[in-house]
Amino acid sequence: MDKFKQAKQRLQCARSILIVSHIRPDGDAVGSVLGLGLALQDAGKYVQMVLDDGVPKTFRHLTGSRQIQKRPNGEFDVIVVVDSSGLDRIGYALDGYPVPDLNIDHHVTNLNFAEINLVDSQAAATTEMLSKYLPQWGLSITKPIAEALLTGLITDTIGFQTPNVHSQTLRTAASLMEKGADISTLYRKVLVNRPFAAVNYWGFGLRKLQIEDRVVWASLTLDDRNAAHYPGSGDADLVNILASIDDADIALIFIEQPEGQVKISWRAKPGFDVSKVASQFGGGGHKPAAGVTIEGELDEIQTKVLEATHTLFNGRVTNS
Ligand code: 5GP
Ligand code: MN
């Protein structure tokens, strides 16, 4: 039996299912958990949905988001991990639980950590995969499920602009709209609207903007976060603004974290593969977008990571 049928059978036979995704959840993580979770609930399954970091405010309008817990409780017939390249990405969500049954993901750096691994690195989002799988698994896509799935597509493709958007991606989006998802409202909620504090926080990073050999970067410290009263722990998507700079092929942001860690995000123009440089530091991601969190002091890490990034891309050399 192929692994796709095995996955279907495991889900069909299960009464209780745990669905988990990655820390610092984005729209694809939340959308995949909810899309699959709500569909399985509609099919009569007992489902727990877990994100170690909870649901960011941006996604709390999605139906079912209040059901998402930070830790599971009890035992489950089947454990599913979505949109996560490895078990190191899910925080403490599966501590004390066995090896997951199912791994559904689209990261090129996926480690095939589950018993059944459905990994499609061509897919623009994990929710794109789920949009195809759910009907094939006999699960229906209701309006709330379509909204969750379309959210993942919108956020992972940054509004359908990444090079992995194919005509099929748009067909999938269209079919989710036909199930009732309002693309304009979702797009505004997850990609356009942002609090004053977020844009103010950008200002602190933008003041430190630098460019060398077509690599552009900025940093955000804990002091910047406090000064801007920004409540999140990320960069408020500033890296995507840096990625729009014409004079660079690679954009990076360094975000100081509590307890001596630094989060790094890379973004690349088409033709470059930043997952390679992220992997060098133990992280991962996709060709156009990758990240890692490492221990150390901001200045030191910045020097080391910039050097590795320049070495790999040598300014103008394409790498894919
Ligand atoms: P971001 O930089 O926006 O957090 O993430 C960009 C991409 O890289 C996402 O696909 C995300 O899942 C992946 N990514 C971010 N941080 C890590 C990490 O620490 N490890 C791995 N394996 N992937 C990461
Ligand atoms: Mn994703």
82-95 pLDDT tens trace: 999 999 999 999 99
Q: Which of 235, 236, 240, 262 is nearest to 251 (CA)?
A: 240
Q: For residue 74, what pLDDT band results from cuts at 50, 70 and 90? A: very high
Take residue 116 and report the two structure tokens written for it: 């059944």
- Is the pLDDT reported for residue 316 higher than 70? no
Looking at all shown ligands, the one closest to residue 251's CA atom is 1
Strands 210-212 and 215-220: antiparallel
Alpha carbon distance 113, 110 (integer Å): 8
Residue 151 and residue 186 in contact, taking contact as beta carbons nearer than 8 Å: yes
Q: How far apart are the first and last CA of the chain?
A: 34
What tokens were used for 149? 């799935």
Which H or E run includes 277?
Answer: helix 275-280
Give the whole-number percent of the chain exceeding pLDDT 70: 98
Average pLDDT for 154-175 = 96
Q: Does residue 314 carry a pLDDT above 90?
A: no
Question: Which ligand 1 atom is the nearest neighbour of the CA of 283?
Answer: 20
Q: At residue 313, does pLDDT exceed 90?
A: no
pLDDT of residue 221: 98
- Ligand 1, from 21, 26, 220: best to mutate by most atoms within 8 Å of Cβ? 26
pTM over 0.75: yes
The whole-number pLDDT of residue 317 equals 43
Closest CA to 227 of 206, 203, 210: 203
Span 128-139, average pLDDT: 98
What pLDDT does residue 1 have? Answer: 81
Ligand 1 center–CA 10 separation, angstroms = 29
Q: Which atom of ligand 1 is nearest to the CA of 290?
A: 8
Among the bound ligands, the one closest to the CA of 86: 1
Average pLDDT taken over every residue of the chain = 96
Mean pLDDT of 262-274: 95
Residue 207 contacts by C-beta under 8 Å, 6 or more apart in sequence? none
For the purposes of burial, counting CB atoms within 10 Å of the CB of 200, is it exposed (0-12), middle (13-18) or buried (19 or more)? middle
